[in-house]
Amino acid sequence: MHRLYHQPLSPFCRKIRLVLAEKRIEVQLIEEKVWEKNLDFLRLNPAGKVPMLRMNGLILAESSAIFEYLEETVPEPPLLPRGAEARVEARRLMNWFDDKFHHEVTANLLYERVNKKLEGTGYPDSRKIQAGSKNIKYHIDYMGWLLEKRDWLAGNMMTIADFTAAAHFSSLDYVNDIDWLRNKNVKEWYARIKSRPAFRSLLSDQLSGFVPPDHYTDLDF
Amino acid sequence: MHRLYHQPLSPFCRKIRLVLAEKRIEVQLIEEKVWEKNLDFLRLNPAGKVPMLRMNGLILAESSAIFEYLEETVPEPPLLPRGAEARVEARRLMNWFDDKFHHEVTANLLYERVNKKLEGTGYPDSRKIQAGSKNIKYHIDYMGWLLEKRDWLAGNMMTIADFTAAAHFSSLDYVNDIDWLRNKNVKEWYARIKSRPAFRSLLSDQLSGFVPPDHYTDLDF
């Protein structure tokens, strides 16, 4: 069977888990503690990061490269729209969340609260938590604005943009960092995506030492 | 004519400039001082970053999304190989340089030396310069190892992986941060890519207040 090396709350891993599940590709999940710099892992993937996917005799690294590979080799159901114009918008938003949102929000909130504790590298920095809490408001507003005009973030079909955003949101929701009252479009969008079968595996993750809020697994939160 | 909003030494912009030139797509270059947070620019591209490309009535943002759009709409000459296995390797390396190399090297060297001065945000942090100078050695060794077995970084054809790496290297070379004696494969690879017509516009950039070393424009450095 294919193997996905991952960390349960990594949004980059969650994005790939959603893609795999949506395309009905079964994988064995292997938790890799990347901060322990396991030599066997580094030999396979010198970037030392997860997700890493072993599939078809290949070792695949970098989540956006893995996504494009899966989209090319298992095209159904598609997670990129047809037409170059619609595709560039889906990829723009994938990058928006994996770069801008990750840097401004995920790193400040999730990595301060969770990764530092897992890696034993100290306590959360309150200035970063404050910055992340402030920044996420702007992102939720932007998403709400996009969803005024569109059914899904990049247009009228669900795409990798939605999975990428939902991957970040689900990890942040695990540590109760999402204000679901801020924007009804965003809440309604997340409820739709959370109820997909592909989402189930994410909602069943339990991270030792971290208890998610009650609404985390609730489909009618 | 199409318009590319850019910063001369941004490796993300240089990557797209190389792609445009290789595909013979003429653009007008417009320098955008992103740190001034120009409202007209933010309205077009709320991420507030360069490169941003105006083309075919569209506003394109995020360099990897722009690249995929150009590859889909102007397929010749191709910058991704055929076959999913070769494509994932090219995209893995594109991400290696835009994420890992960027974080470990470019941000520590180029941004400390150049961006801080441009933006008026202080002096270079010597610890970051040291970290960047140390990290780049590991990356050059890794590239040298790849080039032992391959003509180009991702295999036997020139791909977006080479342009991405060369974009970072050319910006770092402008501030004389590349030790060309460290690996002969890497030097020979860069000499090959530097002599391509697509590279000319990069080598003619002059950034006020920063003088590149003599070898910067020399094709036989």
Q: List pLDDT tens digits, range B62-82.
A: 999 999 999 999 999 999 999
* A13 and A110 assigned to the same domain: no
Domain count, chain A: 2
Q: Which of A50, A73, A96 is the last residue of a domain?
A: A73
Q: Does B214 touch chain A (CB under 8 A)?
A: no
CA distance B101 to chain A (A): 10
| Cβ–Cβ under 8 Å, residues B134 and B172 | no
The pLDDT score that the predictor gives to residue A220 is 86
Cα A37 to Cα A68: distance, rounded to the nearest angstrom:
27
In whole angstroms, how far apart are CA B123 and each of B37, B105, B126? 21, 17, 9
Are A110 and A60 in a shared domain?
no
CA distances to A111, B38, B52, B171 from B115, in Å: 26, 17, 19, 12
The domain that holds A132 is classified in CATH as 1.20.1050.10
A147 and A59 in a common domain: no
Residue A164 domain-assigned? yes
Query: Does A17 share its domain with A64?
Result: yes
Contact in structure between B110 and B9 (CB atoms under 8 Å)? yes
How many residues are present in chain B?
A: 221
Give CA–CA dist A112/A184, Å, rounded. Answer: 27
Alpha-carbon gap, residue B183 to A22, rounded angstroms: 44
Is A173 part of a structural domain of the chain? yes
Could you tell me the mean pLDDT of each successive run of 10 residues in chain A, 221 residues long? 97 98 98 96 95 97 98 98 97 97 98 95 96 98 98 98 98 97 98 96 91 93 85
Q: For strands A58-61 and B58-61, give the pairing.
A: unpaired
What residues in B contact A60, CB-CB < 8 Å? 88, 92
Q: Is residue A35 part of a domain?
A: yes
Q: Measured in Å, how far apart are chain A's first and last C-alpha atoms?
A: 35
pLDDT at B99: 96
Q: Is residue A62 part of a domain?
A: yes
Q: Are residues A108 and A63 in the same domain?
A: no
Whether A51 is in a domain gets the answer yes
CA distance A150 to chain B (A): 18
The verdict on A60 and A146 lying in the same domain is no
- CA Rg value for chain A: 17
Q: A57 and A148: one domain? A: no
Residue where a domain terminates, one of A47, A73, A99:
A73
Contact A65 B92 (CB under 8 A): yes
Predicted-complex ipTM score: 0.95
Contact between residue B106 and residue B178 where contact means Cβ atoms under 8 Å apart: no
**Distance, CA of A201 to CA of B169 (rounded, Å):** 41
Cα separation, B178 vs B39, whole angstroms: 36
**A151 and A187 in a common domain:** yes
> Do A109 and A184 reside in the same domain of the chain?
yes
Q: Identify the CA nearest to A20 among candidates A177, A186, A167, A209.
A: A167
- What's residue A189's pLDDT? 98
Given this model, what pLDDT does residue A221 score? Answer: 85
A58 and A97 together in one domain? no
DSSP B91-150: HHHHHIIIIIIIIIIIHHHHIIIIIHHHHT--PPPHHHHHHHHHHHHHHHHHHHHHHHH-
Determine whether the interchain pair A84/B62 forms a contact, defined as Cβ–Cβ distance below 8 Å: no
Tell whether A183 and A91 lie within a shared domain: yes
Q: Does the beta carbon of A2 lie under 8 angstroms from any beta carbon of chain B?
A: no
Domain range for A104 is 84-199
Position A208 scores a pLDDT of: 87
Domain assignment present for A211? no
Looking at A30, A49, A73, the residue that finishes a domain is A73
The residue of chain A nearest to residue B143, with distances taken between CA atoms, is A46
Mean pLDDT by groups of 10 residues along chain B of 221 residues: 97 98 98 96 95 97 98 98 97 97 98 95 96 98 98 98 98 97 98 96 91 93 85
Measured between CA atoms, how close is A136 to chain B, in angstroms? 14
* pLDDT of res. A71: 98
- Shared domain for A65 and A94, answered yes or no, is no
The angle, 0 to 180 degrees and rounded to 10, between the axes of the packed helices B84-95 and B160-174 is 20
A47 reaches B (C-beta below 8 A): yes
Residue A29 lies in a domain: yes
Query: Under an 8 A CB cutoff, do B92 and A46 touch?
Result: no
Q: Are A109 and A172 in contact (CB under 8 A)?
A: yes
What span, in angstroms and rounded, lies between the C-alpha atoms of A71 and A50? 19
Residue A27: give its domain's CATH number: 3.40.30.10
User: Which strand (E) or helix (H) includes residue A39?
Assistant: helix A39-44
Inside any domain, residue A214: no
A88 touches chain B (CB under 8 A): yes
CB contact under 8 A, A60 and B142: no
Strand order in the sheet with B2-6: B27-31, B2-6, B52-55, B58-61
**Nearest-neighbour CA in chain A from B93: distance (Å):** 9
Both tokens assigned to A115: 């990764």
Cα distances (Å, whole numbers) of residue A28 to A2, A20, A40, A48: 6, 11, 18, 19
